[in-house]
Structure 1
Amino acid sequence: MLTTASVPDGDKVAYWNDAVSRALVPMTVAPRGDGPFDGRISTARLGYLQVSTMEADAERVSRTPALIARSSEALVGVGVQVSGTATFVQDGRRAEVGEGDLVVYDTTRPYSFDYPERFATHVFQLPRRTLGVADEDIRQVTGNAIGTGDGFGAMLLPFLAGLASSSADGYPPAVANRLAGNVVDLFATLIAERAHPADTDADADARNHLMLRVRDHIDRNLGDPGLSPESIARTHRISVRYLHRLFEGEGTTVGRLIRQRRLEECGRELARRGRTAPTVSAVAQRWGFVNPAHFSRTFRAAYGVSPREWRDLRAAPRDR
């Protein structure tokens, strides 16, 4: 708990600036009143999720490009307005935030909160990388107030309020990390719901086009042992979570498709007739299998015979 209660009046503002910047991210705080400033902020950790509660007199909080440059990690914040109101600005959008509203913001881009009266707010901060949602989805949600009167927000608000009010530091590490993961999944669901309220024909066309590009990329890179959901998502500038979501209607997963296509190419090459038959290990390596033993087990599981038996059966003369 950091509080201005015991700080001399002349030093309260400077102390509060430092307290907020250390507890959250570097920011500039400007009080809106002329009298002695009063503020307090408490912070706890829940695995990689930070949970803070801030109560203070009227103020304006700004995150500028110069302050962003001082931060080493990209964070996403979710604010829950407990009391008072705020005007929130990010990405050229302005939102009036009332009691019970949620806001999502990205600490790597400038933003500001203007609190015209005394207020209280819960702030949840998490590493940007843990969300697993596309950058464009986050940009669509920032700069908006999310009401909690209905929909997913209505379910989320009491959970977040209870979590912020409990002693997050009291959980064992394993429990804390599991809870943090659940909270992050809820935030990702909230962002996805707000960013994609309804699919249109244009959305479906875009997804189909992206899926064709992904499948083509997989086919062209089967020989690369580093081909993985992470590398595919990185190449196409989407999150791994969104990539997996694309495959939900395909009847398979990204990893299974890569393995299936590699096995198909290995089977085709091993069945090729010729004077010099390639070795099993050479074929396996050519199509991205690094471990020959693992390749043999995977091939047998898929086709019921070993790669060598597959090659011998197809190389044998057929009855005329």
Structure 2
Amino acid sequence: MTQPVSLISRVSTARLDPADRVAAWEEYNRRALVGLKCSPYAEQGLLATQTNVRFGALRMADIAGNEHVIERTSAACRALPKDSVFASLVLSGEAVFYHGRGCLTLGAGELVVYDTRRSYLFGFAAPMRQLLVDIPRELFAEVPSPAKFDAD
């Protein structure tokens, strides 16, 4: 049976005063997705949009923006816990993903899967767009590893 898709929320910083954009973006993400810190790097400040939808137990965010960095610090992981795995597909632009074990450079069409219980930094040096799938840990744990799939 197919799960219905339902719109949860949508936000844009475009009509906000540039001085208020980062705080509004951080608050929106805290409520809709995950607690994080945002640092814009464009002269006009943060220009970003996000649309969140639900597919059964999964949530998906379509995120677009200009040059910025988001960071989920260890302090945020403790203060604003989230027990999910994120799968982020870069649709346009290039990204740098830093985590405790190293740094990845991602381009359009590349995917990174990461644990929201651990700190990370996602940076974009040019306009970007990504699709992020929020997978509750209990669902992620149910997915068999490739070695467990039956080849028949």
Give the shorter-chain TM-score range: 0.7 to 0.9
Is the CA contact (8 Å cut-off) linking 2:94 and 2:105 kept in structure 1? yes
Instruction: Indicate which of 65, 78, 93 corresponds to 1:84.
Output: 93
- Structure with more of its chain in strand, by fraction: 2
| Alignment of 1:74 onto 2:70 | no
Structure of higher RCO (CA pairs closer than 8 Å, 6+ residues apart): 2
Aligned to 1:20: 29
For the 8 Å contact 1:20–1:41, the answer to whether it is kept is no
CA distance in 1, matches of 2:127, 2:76: 25
How many percent of aligned residue pairs carry the same amino acid? 25
Within 5 Å, give how 1:213-228 maps onto structure 2: none
Matched-pair contact (CA < 8 Å) for 2:12–2:48: yes
Of 58, 61, 68, 1:49 maps to 58
Contact 2:34 2:82 in 1 (8 A): no
Taking structure 1 as the reference length, the TM-score comes to 0.41
Counterpart of 1:11 in structure 2 is: 20
**CA offset at residue 79 of structure 1?**
0.3
Inter-partner Cα distance in structure 2 for 1:90 and 1:36: 25
Shift of 1:72: 4.0
Q: After superposition, give the CA deviation of every residue in 1:125-174 in whole Å (9 maximum; x if it has no partner).
A: 011121226xxxxxxxxxxxxxxxxxxxxxxxxxxxxxxxxxxxxxxxxx
Q: Give the superposition deviation at 1:17.
A: 1.9
Deviations 1:25-48 (CA, angstroms, capped at 9, x unpaired): 000010012323211100011111
Matched residue SS, 2:118: coil
TM-score (norm 2): 0.84
Matched positions, count? 140
User: Using the alignment, how far apart are the partners of 1:23 and 1:41 within structure 2?
Assistant: 10
* Structure 2 CA distance for aligned equivalents of residues 71 and 48 of structure 1: 20
Answer with 1 or 2: which has the greater Rg.
1
1:27 & 1:72 partners in 2: Cα distance?
11
Does the CA contact (< 8 Å) of 2:90 and 2:111 recur in 1?
yes
Distance (Å, rounded) in 2 between the aligned partners of 1:73 and 1:26: 8
Unmatched segments (≥5 aa) in structure 2: 1-9
Aligned-CA RMSD value: 1.8
Answering whether residue 46 of structure 2 is matched by residue 2 of structure 1, we say no
Distance 2:53 2:24 in 1: 20
Q: Deviations over 1:93-130 (max 9, x none)?
A: 21110000010000001111011111000000011121
The aligned amino acid for 1:87 is V
Instruction: Label 1:91 to 1:10 Cα distance change in 2 as closer, same or farther (>3 A).
Output: closer
1:230-283, Cα deviation, whole Å (9 max, x unpaired): xxxxxxxxxxxxxxx5xx8xxxxxxxxxxxxxxxxxxxxxxxxxxxxxxxxxxx
Alpha-carbon distance in 1 for matches of 2:102, 2:17: 38
Give the 3 Å change call, closer, same or farther, for CA 45–84 of structure 1 in structure 2: same
Q: Contact conserved, 2:29 with 2:36, CA < 8 A, in 1?
A: yes
Deviation at 1:90, TM superposition (A): 1.7
**Which residue of structure 2 aligns with residue 114 of structure 1?**
123
In structure 2, how many angstroms separate the alpha carbons of the residues matched to 1:41 and 1:98?
20
Q: What amino acid maps onto 1:108 in structure 2? A: R
Task: Look up the equivalent residue of 2:114 and give its one-letter code.
Answer: Y
Q: Which position in structure 2 is the counterpart of 1:59?
A: 68
Q: Which amino acid aligns with 2:124?
A: Y
Corresponding letter in the other structure for 2:47? D
